[in-house]
Amino acid sequence: MDLLFICREATEDSVIGNVGMALQAKAAGRESAVLFTEEALAALAGQAFHWSPLFSSRPARIAISRNATALGLPVASERDDRWTDLRRLLEAAREAGVRLLACPLWSQILSVDGRLPDTIERPATEEVLAAIESAKVVGGY
């Protein structure tokens, strides 16, 4: 594992940033993964994602949706590019070979088993620890 991005916030902009950078790293030939934990994991399991305060206005959200999609990050909804669809981004990441991981500790704390999308892997604690240990860079947005 070259790069491990940790996504803990349940903000759409955080998911777009982490998954987007992991996709770019993969395209550049680096093995990358995103570890979802805390709020992000709860949102993936059915709670709501929200936007950071600076990006909460409708014009900002529309610009992010359209611009990210224009950069090759499939963020915009297929029905209306003014809206985001994070499932499309997660599916594209998995198809590109980016691993999307659920934090095993927070999975147990939040009892999210059975509620996560199929795009999210559910690794054992030892596998996540090995990924953290082997990554050259561990970080998040």
pLDDT digits (tens, 9 = 90+) for 68-105: 999 999 999 999 998 999 999 999 999 999 999 999 99
- Collapsed DSSP state (helix, strand, coil) of residue 6: strand
Domains parsed from the chain with CATH numbers: 3-139 (3.40.1260.10)
| Residue whose tokens read 């992010």 | 64
pLDDT digits (tens, 9 = 90+) for 7-54: 999 999 999 999 999 999 999 999 999 999 999 999 999 999 999 999
Tell me how far CA of residue 104 lies from CA of 13, 39, 43, 126, 128, in angstroms. 23, 14, 15, 9, 8
